[in-house]
Chain A
Amino acid sequence: MAERMEQVGDEGALRAAPLPPGWDDAVDLEAPPATIPDPAEVDVPDALRIEIERLMSLYPDRHSATLPALGAAQRVHGWCSPEALRQVASVMQVTPAYLSSVATFYDMLRTEPAGSRYVYVCTSVACHVRNAKKVYEAIAEQAEAQDLEDVQLREFECLGACDMAPMASVDGRFVGPLSSDDAPEFVRQLKAGETVLPGRGLEDPGYSIPVPAPQSDEPQEHPSVHAAGGEWPGDEELDVPPAEGPPSRRRPIVEPLLPGTSVAPEPEEDEE
């Protein structure tokens, strides 16, 4: 592919980036169309199979589980590789073609190996007016300087955290506001596997946005109102014990394979 591109000499004529293995094979028009894989022939990691079957049971129509199932397969394989699609297809009993039609539509489903972790830097409108582009460039420059590997770094459309602008999502953890000066530390911590910019994540204790407004002495124009509760006339307070901290929120994440591979691990012998 790359050679042909050089021959043509026009980057726009063919895809600029070389395609990942498995996606640039020519279509064999003589072959029978891809069918639903036989579950007996496909080796699916047990954890993935159980997860997909659980997802399918949630919906009246099993097809609805496609998006979360592909997400689960991506957590196992690192990307939606042809093998990952075949495994999902065999559990869900759909064609791999149907799954690839879905996988190519969504931004978070990767159709090429890009690293097992991700950093999305928002450069959309609200972040744009706060110089997000410079932040992204600084991080990209540092990533190259520090040889950051196995991390998918990309610009992303609005992540819904414009109050933190400019911001980035590191494996789902929102950090911000960022500046170009944060880039070296950001990349160093990312590379070392540490928490990136501790204290500046959305879920970190004590993190608050907006900055509290200065208190005005004027009385409020509207009465203070309590949402979904507050005072219920003629109703005694419920005797509820105090909360014991937040419930654990992280889903168990299936151990990822090495990037670029998509082979199911051998099932452990001592199982069952």
Chain B
Amino acid sequence: MSETRVLLANIDEPDLHTMDVYERLGGYRSLRKALLEMTPEAVLAELEESGLRGRGGAGFSMGKKASFIPKGSMDKYLCCNADESEPGTFKDRLLMQKNPHMLIEGCIIGSIAAGANKGFIFIRGEYELQADMLDAAVAEAYEKQYLGEDILGSGHTFELVVHRGQGAYICGEETGLLDALEGKRGNPRLKPPFPANQGLYQGPTLINNVETLCNAPIIIQHGAEWYRQYGEGNSTGTKIVSVSGNVQRPGNYEIALGIPVRELIYDLAGGPPEGREVKCFFPGGSSAPVLTKEHLDLPYTFEAMAEAGSMLGSGAIIVVDDSEPLVPLALRLAEFYRHESCGKCVPCREGTNWTVKMLERIDEGEGTPMDLELLDQIQGNIIGNCLCVLGDSMAMPVASMLKHFRDEFEQHMEEARRRRDLEELTPLAAPEVAAVPEAGPV
């Protein structure tokens, strides 16, 4: 089995990030087509028909999202979510570093569909190289008049700004991103109103992931029908999957949605190191509930992952092999979400904190069997009770680990407790009993 390269077709071309090479390979022709040969309605219809679903995590239809943007003369905005912070995900980094013009072309096409005249690429601050490359590419696009006023004489105006974040996972949440873009702390907002109605500066805003927008030029170029030949059912098109963790060849692989997970992990990424087996894997970034080796033969689609109790999310597979103890992993996971919780909602702020504390107790041998029940209960109290899904993102994988590997948690707890007991007993066995300090009130 091999990759199906659509988005990554030219990725190995040297200097693809320059305008010259990108244009030589046919770049910005989709833009000409969309601007000069198609009406905005036709562009929107094409995107909707393609069935392209958001690649950032939620998997919502991109065309539908764009169609929610109200018509009218108010200021509308397009935001590209390049705050790729989900552990395990690194597909957007590759796209922005190697092919920034594809993203810019996608942004312009998105702006035509949404009727937006101002756009922002919100890139995470840690991606300094990628942000600098985007800056250079945007400058080139302005020079060529693909950006700015009256693009190519079509009357469409679109300004694009690369906005650097300063390191906060929560800014990947769309309303948190909007707050950060408005210059505030990146706290998520109450929904509704959804950003499509009231987003950036209270104007209608279309927010899409980098990979989603990169698909737009391809759909415009080849048509929705051509695009639908890839994929399965409602999961159309190709998907860049970031495979990482305990595999021999971690990296980005572009596949047609619907190939079995086993092929992805074993054939493309080389499988776990020699002599080890897959214990579990996160099918959609660290926020997705883990699946076990029984699920390896499921097709990699939005629907199949949801049916198995997990999600495709951002399309990042983190493989954990059988040599890895799960309690420290769950602890590290919970620490991440505790650190990144913005603190706005109680269930998330307190729930992540208590989960960390309880997992620490279990890991240090202070846990009791009741703790596992309590741990499970806390996760249940977080899920669905917050403004955004950050709390759920911790609760779901931790709860799923508990569900699939309860034996291991119990065993780990027992062993840790025995180890701690031994350590505590050792000084008592020493013959220094005479050195007991005087007790009693002074």
Name A's B-contacting residues (CB within 8 A): 58-61, 63-68, 70-71, 101-102, 105-109, 120, 123-126, 128-130, 156-163, 165, 169, 172-174, 202-203, 209-211, 213, 216, 218, 220-222, 224-232, 235, 237-238, 240-243, 245-251
Taken residue by residue from 242 to 276, chain B's Cβ proximity to chain A (1 for < 8 Å, 0 otherwise) reads as 10111011111100100000000000111000000
B129 interfacial contact with A, CB 8 Å: yes
Residues of A within 8 A of B244 (CB): 126, 162-163, 165
Q: Of the candidates A70, A157, A202, A245, which one forms a contact with B15 in the assembled complex, judged by CB atoms under 8 Å apart?
A: A245
Residues of B within 8 A of A225 (CB): 4-6, 9
Which residue of A has the minimal Cβ distance to B101? A228
A83 shortest CB reach to chain B, Å: 19
- B15 and A221 form a contact (CB under 8 A): no
- B169 and A157 form a contact (CB under 8 A): yes
Residues of B within 8 A of A129 (CB): 245-246, 318, 320-321, 324, 329
Main DSSP-derived SS at the A contact region:
loop
- On whether A243 and B6 interact (CB within 8 A), knowing A125-B336, A162-B245, the answer reads no
Count residues of B near A (Cβ-Cβ below 8 Å).
98
Interface positions of B from 150 to 209, Cβ below 8 Å from A = 161, 163-169, 180-186, 201
- B24 and A126 form a contact (CB under 8 A): no
Docked Cα-Cα span, A162 to B320, in Å, equals 13
B26 interfacial contact with A, CB 8 Å: yes
Docked Cα-Cα span, A226 to B226, in Å, equals 13
- On whether A161 and B93 interact (CB within 8 A), knowing A58-B161, A227-B7, the answer reads yes
Residues of B within 8 A of A241 (CB): 20
Docked Cα-Cα span, A173 to B97, in Å, equals 13
Residues of A within 8 A of B166 (CB): 67, 70-71, 106-109
Residues of B within 8 A of A220 (CB): 2
B286 interfacial contact with A, CB 8 Å: yes
B125 interfacial contact with A, CB 8 Å: yes
- On whether A227 and B6 interact (CB within 8 A), knowing A162-B318, A202-B129, the answer reads yes
Sample of 17 more A-B contacts, CB < 8 Å, known A126-B87, A247-B140:
A105-B185, A105-B342, A107-B167, A125-B88, A129-B246, A129-B321, A158-B169, A162-B90, A172-B126, A216-B2, A227-B99, A227-B102, A228-B99, A229-B25, A229-B27, A230-B25, A240-B24
Docked Cα-Cα span, A109 to B164, in Å, equals 12
B188 shortest CB reach to chain A, Å: 13
Interface positions of B from 1 to 44, Cβ below 8 Å from A = 1-2, 4-10, 15, 17-18, 20-27, 29-30
B128 interfacial contact with A, CB 8 Å: yes
Taken residue by residue from 312 to 343, chain B's Cβ proximity to chain A (1 for < 8 Å, 0 otherwise) reads as 00001010110010001100110010011010
Q: Which 7 A-B pairs have the closest CB atoms?
A: A229-B26, A210-B251, A172-B128, A66-B183, A162-B244, A107-B167, A108-B167
Q: Of the candidates B6, B23, B183, B251, which one forms a contact with A102 in the assembled complex, judged by CB atoms under 8 Å apart?
A: B183
Docked Cα-Cα span, A174 to B248, in Å, equals 20
Which residue of A has the minimal Cβ distance to B332? A128
- On whether A60 and B201 interact (CB within 8 A), knowing A242-B20, A243-B21, the answer reads yes
Docked Cα-Cα span, A195 to B136, in Å, equals 23
B288 shortest CB reach to chain A, Å: 11
- A125 and B318 form a contact (CB under 8 A): yes
B343 shortest CB reach to chain A, Å: 9
Which of A61, A67, A211, A248 counts the most chain B CB atoms within 10 A?
A: A67
Residues of A within 8 A of B1 (CB): 221
B89 interfacial contact with A, CB 8 Å: yes
Docked Cα-Cα span, A58 to B118, in Å, equals 10
Q: Show 28 residue pairs from A and B whose CB-CB distance is below 8 angstroms, ordered by the A residue.
A: A67-B165, A67-B166, A71-B166, A102-B183, A105-B342, A125-B329, A126-B286, A129-B320, A158-B89, A160-B89, A160-B92, A161-B90, A174-B129, A211-B248, A213-B268, A213-B270, A222-B230, A225-B9, A226-B25, A227-B6, A227-B9, A227-B10, A228-B22, A229-B27, A243-B15, A247-B139, A250-B132, A251-B132
- A221 and B9 form a contact (CB under 8 A): no
Docked Cα-Cα span, A61 to B89, in Å, equals 32
B221 shortest CB reach to chain A, Å: 7
A139 shortest CB reach to chain B, Å: 18
Docked Cα-Cα span, A172 to B140, in Å, equals 23
Residues of A within 8 A of B129 (CB): 172-174, 202-203, 249
Name B's A-contacting residues (CB within 8 A): 1-2, 4-10, 15, 17-18, 20-27, 29-30, 75, 84-90, 92-93, 97, 99, 102, 105, 118, 124-129, 132-133, 135-136, 139-140, 161, 163-169, 180-186, 201, 217-218, 221, 230, 242, 244-246, 248-253, 256, 268-270, 282, 286, 316, 318, 320-321, 324, 328-329, 332-333, 336, 339-340, 342
Residues of A within 8 A of B256 (CB): 222
- A249 and B133 form a contact (CB under 8 A): yes
Docked Cα-Cα span, A202 to B133, in Å, equals 13
- B332 and A228 form a contact (CB under 8 A): no
Docked Cα-Cα span, A129 to B97, in Å, equals 26
Docked Cα-Cα span, A225 to B10, in Å, equals 9
Residues of A within 8 A of B22 (CB): 228-229
A219 shortest CB reach to chain B, Å: 9
Which residue of B has the minimal Cβ distance to A202? B129
- A213 and B168 form a contact (CB under 8 A): no
A164 shortest CB reach to chain B, Å: 8
- A123 and B332 form a contact (CB under 8 A): yes
A218 shortest CB reach to chain B, Å: 8
Which residue of B has the minimal Cβ distance to A65? B183
Docked Cα-Cα span, A58 to B320, in Å, equals 44
- A246 and B15 form a contact (CB under 8 A): yes
Residues of A within 8 A of B321 (CB): 129
Residues of B within 8 A of A243 (CB): 15, 18, 20-21
Residues of B within 8 A of A71 (CB): 125, 164, 166
B338 shortest CB reach to chain A, Å: 11
- On whether A162 and B126 interact (CB within 8 A), knowing A67-B163, A213-B268, A246-B17, the answer reads no
Residues of B within 8 A of A102 (CB): 183-185
B189 shortest CB reach to chain A, Å: 15
Which residue of B has the minimal Cβ distance to A250? B132
B91 shortest CB reach to chain A, Å: 9
- B181 and A64 form a contact (CB under 8 A): yes
Residues of A within 8 A of B336 (CB): 124-125, 157-158
- B88 and A63 form a contact (CB under 8 A): no
